[in-house]
Every structure is written in structure tokens, then in C-alpha cells.
Structure 1
Amino acid sequence: MIRNYPFNIIKNKFPLWIKRVLLFLTGMFLLVIMLYVALGVYINNNKTELQARLLKELNGGISGTLKVKSMDPTFFTGFPHVSLKLKQVILRDSLYAVHQRTFLKAGELDVKVNLMALLRGAIDIRKMSIRNAAIDLYIDASGYSNSAVFKKKKNADSKDRSEGSFPELRSLILDNVTLGIEDIKNGKSYSFTVHELDAEIDYTFSGWEAEANLDARAHSMAFNTVHGSFIKEKTLEGKFDLIYDEDEGFITALPNTLEIGGDTFVIGAKIRVGSEKADFTFNISNESILWSRASHLLSPNISSKLDMFAIDEPIAVTCDLIGDFNAEGDPSILVKAEVRDNVLHTPGGNVTDCNFSGVFTNHHVRGKGLSDANSAIKLYNFKGYYNGLPVNMKKTFILNLEKPIVVGDFSSQFEMTKLKGVVDEDLLAFASGTAEMNVDFKADIVNFMIARPYIKGKINVKDADITYVPRKMKFKDVSVLLDFTSEDLTISTISLTTAKSTINMDGYIKNFMNLYYTDPQKIILHWNVKSPSLNVAEFMHFLGSRGKAKAAIRKTDKGNFTKEMNEFFEKTNVDIHLNVDKLYYNKFLATAVKANVFLTDNGILLKDSGLNHAGGTLQLSGSMVQQGNRNKYKVQANVNNVDVNRFFHAFNNFGLETLKADNLRGRFSSDVNITGSVTNAGELVPKTIFGTVSFGLKNGKLLNFDPVRKVGKFAFPLRDMNTIEFANLKGSFDVAGEKITVKPMQINSSVLNMDVQGVYSLGKGTELYVDVPLRNPKNDEGITDKKELAKRRNRGIVVHLKAEDGDDGKVGIKLVGKNADGKK
């Protein structure tokens, strides 16, 4: 009674049909249990035979050896199928003895087999799980691969099935599996650790479809081992939907999300299998990723170039990889980025409010290969602010990443005061004005810095106030148009105003862009200068040594540009054609000035120069060389019929301490060939003049000249020596520092006649001989015959005087018996 209690409940509580169903299920369950027990007994009794069948099934699709240390059943793991656990599995191709590379070495390999097939004595594998394994795919230099371990699938109508075929899996699981692919022939290397891969496979009429979940890490994905790995040491986690079309021979991965290194991408792919070619296409996109993280997913040869730049906020990026796993070299790489309202960091400085579309490609020119030399970084519709300056570039390319150059266009409009962010204020200071730039450019990139740029286009500056700091020169209302051609620079419509000068200029430089970088000392700026009024004193800073542009060293972000500009200003030679209506320099005033001036980095050359001054004319040529605080000059001058008083006044008495402008009247002419020194302030350095001077004075007067008055006081106390008139005075002398050697000179005046020669010193060493006939020239005023006047001139007593230094340091006059010629 107790023993039948459950059945009594069923009998009393449930309808008959339910009772029968429950009894049937119970019977079936007991039957399955009995079958599994029987199957377990069968497998244990026939383990060796079953293992042989399994190996035969697996070996049927391979060309090589498959070794298994042991096999054990696991009944309920794959219920209702039977799972067989293979331990210490080793799969090698037939040429293992040659290359010593094992294709598969697995700690455990579980296979799920069809129960009904097993009962029939056949092995039908449905699922395979590989754990704690290493897969090593190797391709040698000849192109042989140990993947040859897998034979091609037999035709469906083949009658020979004794050897079996590699199974069509319905499920594949990888757990802690390392996958390495080394392609010696094509220089490729791939290495992954698959933490977990779970793939379910459904076979279709044209191939198969699969869903796979992946958790892995990429150690190397080097399409070219010389250039390094993509996604190196990045985690990979996501889902794949795969489709294989046997007719097309491609495995297609539908676009799906994949996490790479912590960033989420949408990835689609297409890979050819089963042929000599292994074409592939990867399409990768990310709507929000940091520039640096995107860059470091690429190979080092690319990322090192992209790392020239940095971008603060995330950007949208796409990447297309197209290539052939079985071909040598890199795949085709196309990276696109969209940058909006961002901050771009470059080696030359930062660009704020930055917007552009960026492209990287390693096949810039079709048909020239996939290489660094044919790679390019392209920026389109670039806009932003560089140190406060607006920047616009429609197209800018960085080409040839082996020896990079940058080409593009540049336009901007800005206030000149904003240039202080680009040009150091220790070089050029801008107080006002506007500028407009529209140029095309080309430049080398050396150590990630722009170098040797070539410019073509125009730069227009208007109404600028500029100070050239090293020489303390200030210019007001500067307007200039710079026109850069492919080789030359044309400078037109320049006008500038200083405190006392107004200048209009234009010019050109031949072969500018080449010489600027190769040999700036050979640059010649051909310069036309016109001015209604020019004050030379404002430009005397060019005579001295320059001040240092300190910021060229201090400010590394713009020091390169400052240094180049600094050197350009100082090394450029300037060939000036000068036309000035009025020219001022201290006391000097000239009109109708025309001159050719050649400026070098250390001096000035003056030639073919002429001007009107003091009622006469001057013709000048000469040179000046900068030598520290003093500047050595050489002058050849022809002075014609100038007012001697104004002439001496204008030149500050030529450094003479005794003879001054107030002592002279008349019309003066002279030929001068002298050298000397002038200070950085433009002052003549006393006692440095050397050379020869010849002169003529018409209708001249000598007024209140102390040396002559002293002679007169001693020799002619009754004559008026304060005013001495000369009808025509000529002479010449040699100047050597502080000493002036007076060549024999005859002086005929209204007061007395003299013959003078000797040395007059501005310091010590005066030894001047003066022969003075005592005959009064007024006695001969009525005589016009020159020969007769010459006879009468020395009649009577002739006094021989000598002017020389006294003990008190002053020049004294004394009688001597003979003059310098030794005559009485």
C-alpha cells in the first residue's frame, strides 16, 4: 500500500490522458538513461577504436599528423550529443621536420559528436572547443605555409570517402588561445591572444553564416614588419556577424560595434579565402575619439607623423584598409577625420577655434605604390586662429612622409598689432595697421618644424606703425604690397613716415626664394626710394652694431621665425636708387639728391651720387664699413662753387678746431679723397681723417682767424688782419690724422701775401713755415698785369716765420733765417 502511494495519487487525481503522457515520458527518460549508460559502457570498452575513428575523421581533411594523448567522454556537457575531450592535441604539417613550426598545440580540445551517428559507428562532429592552445601559422621565404596541413575539401560526388574529410562545424569555441601568423615572404606578422571566442555556424545553400563573440588582445598586426604594427597591444571586444559565399570566395563581416583599446568602433570587413589571393577590406569608424588614441591605432611610421599634431577634444574618424594578406607591403590606407571647434597643437604653435577635414593616405599618386614616400596628410577647409591671427587654408598637404614637405594656400586678414603673437617684440613692434595675405606656399619639414618655405602670392600692409627694435627705427603710416612670384619678390607701393621723413619705395629681389635659404648674403634688394623730405639722422642707427633680438632665443614657439627674419634683415644687400627733394642731416641741407647706395650686412657703398648744397653742387662716392663703435669710411668728393661758410657749417668744420665756418666767406670748390671714422651716432671722429684735399676759393674772405692774426700782430701791427680778402685762393694738403701737411701754397690777399708750407697739427707737432713779403699789396691795386704783379710780390723785405708748438702747449710764432726749403 505504501509502495504504490505515488501511483495511487496519479490514479486518483489526474485524467487518464495525462497519466499516460507522464508514464510515457518517464519511460523515455529511463530509456535515455539506459542508452547513455550503455553508450558509456560501449565507449569505455571501445575507446581505442573510437579514438582511431575520430582521428581518422579529423585526419581525413589534413595533410600531416594529428596526435592526441588521451580521449575521454563527457556525456552531459553536450546533451543530447556526446562530447569527447581530447588532451594534449598536436597538429603538424608534413614538412614540420624542415621548419619546426607546430600549427596547433592544444591542452584540451573538446568535440561534440552526433549521438545517432555514433550509435551507427560513425563520427559526426558538430562542435569544437579549443582551450589553452597555441596556433602558429608560418609562411617561409619561398611562400610555403604550414597551413597546408588542411587539404582541400573533396568533391560531393567523390566515391572515395575512406579517408574522411574535415568536419563542417556548427559551433567553435576558443578559450585562452594564442594565434600567431608569421609571413617571412611578404614581411608580415600577426599575433593575438583570444581570451574567448564563441561562434555559432549555420550552413546555407551558398556557404554559411555565423555569429561570433570575441574577447581578445592584439599584440601585433603588422602588414609590413618594417613599419610596425597596427592596434599594437590593444584589447578587442565585440560581436561579429559573418557571411561566407562559396561562389564569391569572400567572408563578409557585417558592420558591427567592436571595442578596440577601450574605444568603440563600427567595423565591417570583407576577406577572400580559398585562393592564392587573400584580398581584404576593413571599414572602421568612430564618431568620437581623441586624435592621439586614433593615431596610436596605426603603425608607427604613420602615427609618428600624425603625432606632429595634437587635438584637444574628440573627433570623428574613419579608416579604410584595403590589401592582400598574401601580398608584400602595406595595404592601402585611407584615414579621414572631421575636426570641429577644437584646439590644434602643432610644432609651430597652437590653432584655436580650429575646423578642418583631414585625410591620411599612403597612395597619394595612383600607380606609385603604397609607401611613406607616396603618403600624404591632407587638410581641407582649414580655419582657426594662430596666436590671435585668423588662418584660412582651402587645401594644405603634407607629402612624402620619408622626406616631408608641406604645400598649400594661406589667407588671412588681421590687425598688425596681433603680430606680436608671431613676431617677437624685440625684433619688430607693431602699433597699428592692417594686413591681408593671400599666398600659396611650399616648405620642407625638418624635425617636425617647417623650414625653407617658398611663397607665391601677395601680402598687403596698410597704415602700419612699426618699430625695428634692434636699430631703434620707428616708421609711421607704413603701406606695402609684397608680390611673391615663383622665384622673385616684387615690393611695390611702399610708403612710410617717420617723425621727420616721408618715403615712397618700390623694389624687387631676383631669385628670392632660392637665395633666402641657400645663400642670403647674395640676396640683392633693388630699391627705388623717393622722398620729398628725408632726415638722414633718423637712419643713422644703421651705422652701428645692432641690438640683439633677445626673444629669438627666449621664445621657442616663434624663435625660429624671428631668427630667420632677423638674419634676413641683416644679411640682405640693398641696392638703393635714391631721389630726394630735400635731404637733412644735422646742419646739412641738400636738394635734388640723386644717389646709388649699396647696403651690405656690414657696410655701405655710395656711387654716382650728386646733390645741390649751399648754392653749389656735390658729387660723391665712397664706402663705409662697420667696425664696432666706429665705422670706417672712404669718400671721394667733388665740391663745386658752394658757399664756403654754409659748407663748413654743414659739415661741422670737418673736425677742425681752429678754422671754423665763421672765419670763411666765398665760393668754395674742392676735390677730396679721404678716409676716416664716424661714430654710431653719425659724428665724425676727430683726428681719424687721412687723405688729400685740394681746394679753390673765389672771392673769399678770412675773418678773425687767430693764427693769421697772431702773425699779423707780430709782423704787421698797423694792418687790419681781421678781414682778409682773396681774389682766387688755391691750395692742397695731405691729411694724416691730427696732422695736416700743407703743400707749398701762395696766398694773395688784400692785407698781405704769404707763402705757406709745412705741417699744421690739431694736437702736437705743428711745424708751419710762412714767408711773408712786407710789401703792402694795396700798393699794387692798380696793376692788372699778372706777370708784373708776380715780380712786385716779393720785392723788398721777406719775413721768414715758423709756427710751432711752445712749452705751454700752444702754437707760437717766431722768426727764422730760412723757410722749409732752406732758402733765405
Structure 2
Amino acid sequence: MIPEKTSRIRKVIRRILQVFGILIVLIFAAYAGMAWYINAHKKEMLQSLTTELNKNINGSLTIGDMEPAFLRSLPRLSLNLKNVTIRDSLYEKHKHTFLQAEDFYIAVNALALLHGTIEIKKIDIKNASVDLFTDKNGYSNSNVFKKSGTKKNGESGALPELKKFSLDHVDFAIDNQSKKKLFHFNIDDLDGDLDYTPEGFNAKLNLNTLVKSMAFSTDRGSFLKDKIVEGKFDIVYTKDSIAVLPNQLEIGGEDFVVSAGFQLEKSADFEIHIKNEKILWKNASRLLAPNISSRLDLFDLKEPIFVTCDIVGDFNDFGDPLIHVKAKIRDNMLTTSGGMIDNCSFDGEFTNHNIADKGFDDANSAVKIFNFKGDYAGMPILMQQTLILNFDKPIAVGDFSSEFEIGKLNNIIDKDLLGFSKGTAVVKVNYEADIVNYELAKPKLEGTIQIKNADVKYAPRNLDFNDISVILNFKDEDLSISNIHLRSGKSIVNMEGSIRNFLNLYYTAPEKIVVDWKVKSPQLHLGEFMGFVSTRKKVKSVKKKSTRANFTEDLNKLFDNINVNMTMNVDKLFYDRFYATNVTASLFLNDSGIQLKNAGLRHADGNLKLSGTLSQQGKINPFQMNAVVTNVNISKFFYAFDNFGLQSLQAKNLNGYLSANTNISGKITDQGGVVPKSMIGKVDFGLKKVKLLQFSPIKSIGKFAFPFRDFDTISFYNLKGDFDISGEKVTISPMQINSSILNMDVEGVYSFGKGTNIYVTVPLRNPKKDKDITDADELAKRRNRGIMLRLIAADGDDGKVKVSLGRKQKQD
């Protein structure tokens, strides 16, 4: 039984296969017949197809050839149309071909075809270009398609009801010159399935294309320039609109969620929404138009960020659509031209429609940063709101605050310029500034910088300042400086000042900055500020640009060029042996030197008025000084100035009061000492109530000429004279000296080195004999009565001054 059943089953299967084989043969025979039919009637069918399609064309549609393609879309019949060209009626004027396709495959209903009806179910286009062109006057070659009207009985309508379509290696461009828009895509592959609904159709598309241009305004450049877009689209089409449902797309190697909407019936409005939860800043910037990316590329963020972008507009409008970008940055590292900011978090926005009804362009563009937090070189930074407005003429507006240990400034300023140790700083400012060539210009600040208990070393002049406290107040372009307290060694200084137009000049012309200082001090030791005497040491330039190099260079340029107007009031002034009180002075300081004006002080029980200049040229610095000395204690005066370099005449040898006018120039070292042999000038002096005590040269003359007189103490009467100083030599103009012991006439040259040659004429008459005479004329007659002793004080062989008999040689 079993073998019999098996035999029956085999017979049934054999017959089924026979029937199936016959069907396949019949199908192939049918297709072969249709192919024969098509080939046999190619000319007529091609003419029919061309005629049918040209019914909907304002212009011309040509097909080079037509061949059947059996296996391409079974069970439908596929036709391969070769060299399909569609041109509008004005092609000869603008030369833009709407469609040029090497291969244009259409799948048609075979039975309908046999009845002479063309029903197209699928279109595949390969190796083609589509050029939708609109000229400057608004004419478009898309007018090649006639507007669809009311269908007549038997007419299929302008567009067939497609089920599938695909594009393979198609160059697609929309060039609207009237609105300055250019969209250009190299489509590698696009295929879609269409599912028709009563309202329209739903489509599922797969796309792989290279974006050559996506310019909403050709003046501002393209979005997604040379980027590949790949992924799926789910589209809902109605007669009024096209909706692109949210789908993931790969754009330029980054994954985005993209959705969009396009209006069709009454307008050309559109909306495109893009989101990426994890993209690098630079990669996001490269997807935007150059007018936006050029600004964003000034910054960089190390870690990925969250970004959304909305593009809303009208394809028929001139210029850009609304572009609104939002970003969330958390715990990132921000790189700017001024350095890196660690641990930074903020919310950011970009919009090209900052002010309503002001257009969508660079002039109305803005970057907005909210709740910025970060660490800059170890210093915390807070900015509640920062805005960059108007990309045509950019302006930065915002607030800035920070509080930090002042030693952190060593991270951004080189120690060869400034060194910071202890102290704190608190910064709270609002700012506004133009941005020119991506740098701040004409800034305005409102706010304060407060420094407390800081220690600072100013390396170029080797000056140390301790316990500095200061408040900097910014108002527009001006800077006022108040409550400055600092110590340098034993000196205590209180200062306040102002700089007009500081911020503007800081960036444009630092050499024009003038600081107006008011200085008060209970005690000031000039020796601690001798760094101001020498030339300011140059700070080594740093070839490699860095945060520290930039800050150091800017500050060094400021210090190198700044000018200072200073008024001083000092209670007690010390310099080596010199001591003065009630010091007032006006000074002007710049990099080339110091000008002293209207200085007045109490010294040695008298008064001094000084003015002069000091030129800073290095270790040796020229100076010029005018001084008026009034009734100073001559002993204290000589002591204060270290006896003016005299070896024989010391402060201990003098008693009385000195008045003098001096005009002296010379050179001073960077340590404050007078360079030997450098002084040149003139001194006019007067002495009152002067006593010469234990003065060896006079005692030597006395022992030689007047052995019986006491030369230990000599009283002088209203002595006057003038000296010409030239290097190490002092020329003494003829001078009459009247004293209690003797009278003498002196002239000649005194040298601090070699070259002393002084002529002394001494009347031997004892002045005590005439002490009771009050008549000046009579006293003068008696002065020179009797024997005259003529002496010469000159250098001896041993280098010491020797006194001998002699007289001045007469000049020829």
C-alpha cells in the first residue's frame, strides 16, 4: 500500500511542476511577445510616449531611444528610455536644461500598454542632472510643466500615480538668482516607496547625497558645504504641505535627529528642526554657513555638547531664513584666543533675528551666553549674561565677576614682569566693547576691581611692594584708582589717581596714556625706589604665543609706554644721610626719564626748592638740576650730601647757615651715586654766621704765616661767592673772605683729583684790631693795610695739596 501511495504523490508533484513550468514558459513567452511587440512597434510607441508626456510640457521633452528591460521590475514591464532631455520654452535664452538623463527607467502596466495606454508605476533615473533655474527677474524653468487643470474623461492627468522611484548618480540643483539661493546636491542614491492616501501619500525614502551647496543666501555662503547626508526619511504629503517626520540622519559623519515641514499651496514656508545630543563644537561649526562658523571658530570646546538648530523661513523670500541654535555645555574645556577655561558650563544661543521685525541677517545676529561658570588659570569666573551683537559691526556686552588668591596671576603673567605672592582680588564689572578683527576695541567698563593685602614684585625695576590694597573703579573709558595703600621696605605710601580714556588708549595708543597720581606718605625712603632711576629692564619676548605670553606682552607694552603725572606730599623723606620734611613735588615720569617740577621741602633747618630732569639711559643716567637753598644749617647740609665729595672739608668743620642757587648737570648711576668727574654747572652761595672748625688746610696756612693766632675756630662774616664746576674741577671766582682771625682773597681751581691751583692773598693785619669799626668804607681801607702774604695751594709730588709762597702769574 505504501509504495502505491508514494507513487501517486510523485505523480501529483510531477504534474504540478509541469503546470508551473508551462506557466513560466507562457510568462516568458508573453514577455518575449511583448518585447517583440515593443521592438516591432518601437517607433510608434516612442512617438506615443513622447507625445503623451509632451502634453504636460511647456517646452520640449525628447527621448533618444527606448528598450525593454525584462527583469528589472517583474511582473511589470520596464522600459529603458535613453538620453531623456526636458527643456523649457526659454532654454535658448538662459541655457539651463531642466533634466538631462542618460538612463530613465519606467515600469509600466503591460496589459495597459497592449491597449495603447501608458500607466507608469515606477521611475528609476540614473546618471542624470536636474537644474531648477530661476533668473534675476523671477522666471523659472520649472514652468516647463503645465499647471494641472480639471481632468477630462479618459485623461490620466499630469502626473502618474507612482509606487516607487529611485535616483542613482543624479546631480540636483536649485539655483534661484532672484532670491540669491542655491541648493546643489550630488545624489548618489535615493529610493522611495509611496503609499497613497485620500489626502496624498506617505513615503519612505533612503538617501545618500553629497551637499555641494545649501545656501539660503549666496552672499553668506552654504550650510553643510561638501558634507554627506545619509539616512531615512518618513514623509507625509498632502496637497497643502510636506511633513518630514523625525528620523536619524548622518550629516558630515555626525548623527542628527531631523524633522521638517514645507508649505505648498499658498506659500513656500518651511521649518527644519535638527538635534544632536553629542557633537564636538568644531564639527557643529563646520556644518554652518561661513558668516556664522567664522565667529564660532574663534572658540573650541574639548568635549561634545548638546545642540539644537531651528531653520524657519520662506523659499520665496530674499536672504536668510530664521536660524536659531541652542547649545548646552557642561563641565567642558573652552579654548579662546585669550587662553583655556576649565570646568566650564553655560547655555548658549545663536540667532540671526535678535530684534523682532529687524530682519534675518548679520546686523541682527547675536550670540548669547547665560550662566557661564569656569576656571581660568586657576581663577573662578562667573558671567550671568554675555552677548555678541551685530555681526556686521560686532559688539560684546556682558558682566564678569571673580574672586581669587592674587598669586594665581602668576599663571598668566610672566615673572620677568610681575611676581605675585599673597593677597586677594575681587572683580565685579559690566562691560561693552567693539570687536575689530576679533579683538576688543573701545571698551567701556562699569564696576570695580578690589585688591587686598597683596605682595608684588616689579621685576623690570627690581622693586618690591608689600601689603598693597587698592580699588580700581571703571566708568565708561575712564579709570579711577582709590584707597591705594602699599609698603616697600620702611616706606608707607597712600595713593589715588585717574586715567582718562584709559580703556580706549590701552588698545589703540598706550603711549598716550597719562596717569594722574596723588601720593601721600608719612615716611618715604627714596633708596627703596632707586629702580626708577635706571632704565627699565626689557622683558624677554616669548616667541610661542600662550596665555601668559599674551598677557605679559600687553602689560609690558602698557608699562613701557605709560606716562605719569604725579603730585607728592611726604611728611618725612629719607635718602641715605639726607632727611627732609614737608616735601611737596610735581613729577612727570615716562620710559625716557623723570621730570621734577616745583619741589619744595624742609631740610637742615632751612628750605630747598628743586626742579630738574633725569634721563634713563642704562647704568649711567644724565641729570640736570636747579636748586634754591635758603638758610640751611651748613653742617647738616654737608652731612646729608656726604660733603659733596670733598675730602678735606667735612660737615664737622662747618657751622652756620647757607643759601645758594645752583644749576648743575651730571650723571648718576642706577644705584643713585654721582658719577665722578661728571658734574658741570654753577653754584652761587652766601654764608651767614659761619664758623670754620678744625679745618686742616687753613690751619696749615695759619701755622706757616701766623703761628701766634688760633685757627681752631674761625668766624666768617656774610661770605659770598660763586663756583663753576666742570668735572672734577671747581673754579673759584675771586672771593673775599673776612673772618675773625684773618682776611684773605681767594681764587683759582680746586680739584677733587689732580689739578688744584688756588691763589690766596692774605693781609697780615689782624682783623681783631678793626673789630670796633662799623663804617664799611673805612673797614675796607684798613683791611689791606700792611704786608700782604701771597700763597699758592697746589698739588704736591705726593698727590697732596701743598701750600707755598707765590703769586698768580699775569696773563699775556
Same fold by TM-score greater than 0.5: yes
The aligned counterpart of 1:776 is 766
Match of 1:252 among 239, 243, 261: 243
The aligned counterpart of 2:686 is 696
Distance in 1 (CA, whole Å) between partners of 2:653 and 2:554 is 53
| Contact 2:561–2:591, Cα closer than 8 Å, also in 1 | yes
RMSD: 3.3
| Contact 1:373–1:401, Cα closer than 8 Å, also in 2 | yes
Q: Which moved more, 1:282-291 or 1:522-531?
A: 522-531
Q: How does 1:244-393 map onto structure 2 within 5 Å?
A: 244-246=237-239, 248=240, 250-273=241-264, 278-393=268-383
| Contact 2:660–2:686, Cα closer than 8 Å, also in 1 | yes
Matched, 1:686 2:681: no
| Contact 2:381–2:401, Cα closer than 8 Å, also in 1 | yes
Q: 1:371 Cα shift? A: 3.8
Distance in 2 (CA, whole Å) between partners of 1:808 and 1:12 is 152
The aligned counterpart of 1:641 is 631
Cα 1:148–1:282 shift into 2, 3 Å: same
Q: Which moved more, 1:440-449 or 1:91-100?
A: 440-449
Question: Where do 5+ consecutive residues of structure 1 fail to align?
Answer: 14-18
CA offsets per residue over residues 2-45 of structure 1, 9 Å max, x none? xx9999769999xxxxx9x9999999999988876765565455
Number of residue-to-residue matches in the alignment: 808
Match of 1:69 among 41, 64, 73: 64
Matched, 1:416 2:406: yes
| Contact 1:331–1:370, Cα closer than 8 Å, also in 2 | yes
The aligned counterpart of 1:51 is 46
The aligned counterpart of 1:482 is 472
Structure 1: which amino acid aligns with 2:51?
Answer: K
SS in 2 for 1:303: helix
Q: 1:328 Cα shift? A: 4.0
Distance in 1 (CA, whole Å) between partners of 2:545 and 2:43 is 82
| Contact 2:339–2:546, Cα closer than 8 Å, also in 1 | no
Q: How does 1:206-221 map onto structure 2 within 5 Å?
A: 206-221=199-214
Q: Which moved more, 1:379-388 or 1:603-612?
A: 603-612
The aligned counterpart of 1:241 is 234
Question: Where do 5+ consecutive residues of structure 2 fail to align?
Answer: none
Q: 1:553 Cα shift? A: 5.0
| Contact 1:424–1:552, Cα closer than 8 Å, also in 2 | no
The aligned counterpart of 1:628 is 618
The aligned counterpart of 1:195 is 188
Q: Which moved more, 1:456-465 or 1:659-668?
A: 659-668
Match of 2:123 among 115, 118, 128: 128
Match of 2:595 among 605, 608, 616: 605
CA offsets per residue over residues 446-470 of structure 1, 9 Å max, x none? 5555566543321000000000010
| Contact 1:56–1:164, Cα closer than 8 Å, also in 2 | no
Distance in 2 (CA, whole Å) between partners of 1:422 and 1:33 is 84
Distance in 1 (CA, whole Å) between partners of 2:12 and 2:68 is 43
| Contact 2:441–2:507, Cα closer than 8 Å, also in 1 | no
| Contact 2:103–2:125, Cα closer than 8 Å, also in 1 | yes
Match of 1:749 among 712, 723, 739: 739
The aligned counterpart of 1:138 is 133
SS in 1 for 2:741: coil
Distance in 2 (CA, whole Å) between partners of 1:775 and 1:763 is 34
Cα 1:12–1:528 shift into 2, 3 Å: closer
CA offsets per residue over residues 742-786 of structure 1, 9 Å max, x none? 233221212211122233333444443222110112333444554
Compute the TM-score of the two structures, normalised by the length of structure 1. 0.90
The aligned counterpart of 1:667 is 657
SS in 2 for 1:583: strand
Q: How does 1:166-181 map onto structure 2 within 5 Å?
A: 166-181=159-174
Q: 1:554 Cα shift? A: 5.8
CA offsets per residue over residues 347-385 of structure 1, 9 Å max, x none? 211111011122223344455544445433332221111
Q: How does 1:465-504 map onto structure 2 within 5 Å?
A: 465-504=455-494
Q: Which moved more, 1:624-633 or 1:575-584?
A: 624-633
Match of 1:101 among 91, 96, 100: 96
Matched, 1:224 2:214: no
SS in 2 for 1:195: strand
Matched, 1:515 2:505: yes
Distance in 1 (CA, whole Å) between partners of 2:356 and 2:746 is 92
CA offsets per residue over residues 139-159 of structure 1, 9 Å max, x none? 334333322221111224x57
Distance in 1 (CA, whole Å) between partners of 2:807 and 2:232 is 126
Distance in 1 (CA, whole Å) between partners of 2:741 and 2:257 is 113
| Contact 1:606–1:621, Cα closer than 8 Å, also in 2 | yes
| Contact 2:534–2:618, Cα closer than 8 Å, also in 1 | yes
SS in 1 for 2:421: strand
Distance in 2 (CA, whole Å) between partners of 1:71 and 1:418 is 80
Structure 1: which amino acid aligns with 2:77?
Answer: V
CA offsets per residue over residues 229-263 of structure 1, 9 Å max, x none? 321222222121222332x4x32212221111221
Distance in 1 (CA, whole Å) between partners of 2:156 and 2:28 is 34
The aligned counterpart of 1:796 is 786
Q: Which moved more, 1:554-563 or 1:468-477?
A: 554-563
| Contact 1:581–1:591, Cα closer than 8 Å, also in 2 | yes
Cα 1:596–1:306 shift into 2, 3 Å: same
| Contact 1:59–1:165, Cα closer than 8 Å, also in 2 | no
Cα 1:52–1:727 shift into 2, 3 Å: same
Q: 1:187 Cα shift? A: 3.6
Structure 1: which amino acid aligns with 2:58?
Answer: S
The aligned counterpart of 1:733 is 723
SS in 1 for 2:298: coil
| Contact 2:645–2:752, Cα closer than 8 Å, also in 1 | no
SS in 1 for 2:400: strand
Q: Which moved more, 1:501-510 or 1:638-647?
A: 638-647
Q: Which moved more, 1:39-48 or 1:216-225?
A: 39-48
Distance in 2 (CA, whole Å) between partners of 1:132 and 1:33 is 30
Compute the TM-score of the two structures, normalised by the length of structure 2. 0.91
Q: Which moved more, 1:282-291 or 1:588-597?
A: 588-597
